[in-house]
Amino acid sequence: MLNPSETVALPDKARALRQAGVDVIDLSEGEPYFDTPEKIKLAAKEALDEGFVHYVSSAGLKELRQAVAEKLRTENKIDVQESEVIVTVGAKQALFTAFLTVLNPGDEVLIPEPGYVSYQAMVIVAGGKQVSVNLLETRDFRLDEEEIKEKITEKTKAVILNSPNNPVGAVFPKEDLKMIADIAKDCNLLVITDEIYEKIVYDGVQHYSIASFPEMKDRTITVNGFSKAYSMTGWRLGYAAAKKEIIDNMLKVQQHSVTHPTSFVEKAGIVALKECEEEVKWMVKAYKECRDYFVNELNKTDKLSCWMPKGAFYAFPKIVETKFSSEEFAEYLLKEAHVLAVPGTAFGDLGRGYARMVYSRPMDELEEAIPRIRSVLEKL
Ligand SMILES: Cc1ncc(COP(=O)(O)O)c(C=O)c1O
C-alpha cells in the first residue's frame, strides 16, 4: 500500500484554509519562491512562437543532451557523452524510470532516512524493497559504514544517495562518498544519486558527484533537474546520466510512458544550463540569508533545536521539547499559528520528533512566521 505524499496532501489543507480567508504562511512546499529567470522564459516563448510544438526525440533534444553531458563533464567531473544522458519530466521521473529499469522483483534498495518522501514509494512500485539506513543528528546526519555493511544482503541491488539532502540539508563529505563507492564496488551495487540540490550549498561546503570517483561511472545513475536551481518546479524538466546500456533501457521505459518531456520546455533547459549561472548564484545567496535568519531565530525558542543545514533549503528542527508528536506539532502550528510545516515522519520513521520547514521564502514572510511560531510555542 502506498501512502499519499504528505508533502502534497498538506498544502491542500493550507489552500482550503486560505480559501476560507485565513492568512496561512505555507512553509511546507519544497520549492524556490523566485520566478524563473527571464532568459529561460524567453527561450520557451520563442520556441512556441516558432511552432516548436510537436513530438521530438524521446531521449531529449540533441542540443540539450549535449549541454547536460558538457555540464557533467566540466562541473561534475563525470566523463559523460551525449548518448549516456536521458532528459526526463523532472528529476522525479528520472528516478522512477531508473527504478523501473534496474530493479527486479524483491531487489533491496538502501535508502537513507530521513529522506525524500517518494524514494520508498517508487522502489515499491518498481517491485523492490526499501531498506532504511539511518541519518542521525548525533552523527551530523552522516552515513554509518558499519550499519550499511550490516544491511547489505545478496538481494541488495542499489543504494540511493541524496546530497544535499531533503529534508535535513546535510551534504555528504568526500570521504563518506568514497566509503560508499568502495562498498558499491566490493558488493557490486548500483548507486542512484539524486543531486537536485547540488548548487544550493552554503559556507564553502562542496558538493561531489560519486560518479566522478574512480571506477564509479558505470555503476552510478546520476539524477538531476532544473526545478530547484533554476526555480523551474512547474516546468517539469530533469535528466539522468549513466552508462549507455542503462540509458538505452531507461529510454524504452520513457518511450512507452511519457514519450518525452515537453518540447519547448527542453529548449528553455538549454538556456538554463548555458546562460544562467549568475541567476543561480544570487538565488543561492538569498537562500543563505533566509537560512541564517530562520534557523538562528528558531533556535532562540527553547522548545525547538535546529541543526544548521549545509545545503538545500529546508530547516528540520527537533520538536521533542514541545511534547507533541510530529503530526500533532504540525497540526498545532497550522491551527494556532497558521503556519504550515510538514511532520518529520513524512520522511520516514527517523523523522519522528522533527518537523520540516522550508525557508526558501521571501524574508518578510519568514519575519512574519517566526513571531507566530514563537508565540504559540511560548503558550505550551
Ligand atoms: C530530493 C528530491 N529529489 C527530487 C525531487 C523532485 O524534483 P523534480 O521537480 O525535478 O521532479 C525533489 C522535490 O522536492 C526532491 O526534494
- For residue 321, the domain's CATH number is 3.90.1150.10
Q: Does the residue 1 lie in any domain? A: no
**287: enclosing H helix or E strand:** helix 277-298
241 and 112 share one domain? yes
**Residue where a domain stops, chosen among 224, 247, 275:** 275
Q: Find the CATH number of the domain harbouring 103.
A: 3.40.640.10
Q: Does the residue 176 lie in any domain? A: yes
Amino acid (one-letter) located at 351: G
Between strands 156-162 and 108-113, the pairing is parallel
241 and 339 share one domain? no
Tell me how far CA of residue 33 lies from CA of 129, 231, 283, in angstroms.
35, 7, 9
15 and 58 share one domain? no
| SS3 (DSSP) at 221 | strand
Surface-to-core class of residue 355, CB atoms within 10 Å of its CB (0-12 exposed, 13-18 middle, 19+ buried): buried
268 and 291 share one domain? no
Q: Does the residue 177 lie in any domain? A: yes
List of the chain residues with pLDDT < 70: 1-9
Amino acid (one-letter) located at 135: L
61 and 197 share one domain? yes
Residue 219 to residue 277: CA distance in whole angstroms: 29
From atom 13 of ligand 1, which residue's Cα is the shortest distance away?
A: 30
Beta bridge partners of 129: 108
Q: Pick the atom of ligand 1 nearest to 7's CA.
A: 14
19 and 160 share one domain? no
Q: Pick the atom of ligand 1 nearest to 226's CA.
A: 10
Q: Does the residue 42 lie in any domain? A: no
Q: Does the residue 117 lie in any domain? A: yes
Domains: count for the chain? 2
254 and 307 share one domain? no
| SS3 (DSSP) at 217 | helix
11-47 pLDDT, tens digit per residue, is: 778 888 899 999 999 999 899 999 999 999 999 999 9
From atom 6 of ligand 1, which residue's Cα is the shortest distance away?
A: 92
Q: Pick the atom of ligand 1 nearest to 165's CA.
A: 1
| SS3 (DSSP) at 286 | helix
Nearest Cα to Cα of residue 85 among 235, 203, 224 = 224
Q: Does the residue 45 lie in any domain? A: no
Residue 276 to residue 188: CA distance in whole angstroms: 38
- Predicted local distance difference test score (pLDDT) of residue 13: 80
Q: Does the residue 311 lie in any domain? A: yes
256 and 108 share one domain? yes
CA 109 to ligand 1 center in whole angstroms: 19
119 and 13 share one domain? no
Q: What are phi and psi of 274, to 5 degrees?
A: -90, -25
Q: Pick the atom of ligand 1 nearest to 237's CA.
A: 10
Spell out which residues line ligand 1, taking CB within 6 angstroms: 30, 90-92, 116, 162, 166, 194, 196, 225, 227, 233, 238
**What are the DSSP calls for 141-163, one per residue?**
T---HHHHHHH--TTEEEEEEES
Ligand 1 pocket test, pick from 99, 117, 119, 227 with the greatest ligand atom count within 8 Å of Cβ, gives 227
* Residue 108, C-alpha cell as written in the block: 533491496
Q: Which domain holds residue 291?
A: 6-30+278-378
CA 53 to ligand 1 center in whole angstroms: 26
214 and 73 share one domain? yes
141 and 235 share one domain? yes
Residue 165 to residue 50: CA distance in whole angstroms: 39
Between strands 342-343 and 156-162, the pairing is unpaired
Residue 118 to residue 211: CA distance in whole angstroms: 22
CA 239 to ligand 1 center in whole angstroms: 12
3-state SS track over 162-209: ECCCCCCCCCCCHHHHHHHHHHHHHHCCEEEEECCCCCCECCCCCCCC
Q: How many CB atoms lie within 10 A of CB 54?
A: 6
- Predicted local distance difference test score (pLDDT) of residue 54: 97
- Predicted local distance difference test score (pLDDT) of residue 3: 61
294 and 262 share one domain? no
CA 203 to ligand 1 center in whole angstroms: 23
Q: Does the residue 36 lie in any domain? A: no
**Residue where a domain stops, chosen among 244, 275, 306:** 275
**Residue where a domain stops, chosen among 275, 292, 307:** 275
- Predicted local distance difference test score (pLDDT) of residue 284: 98
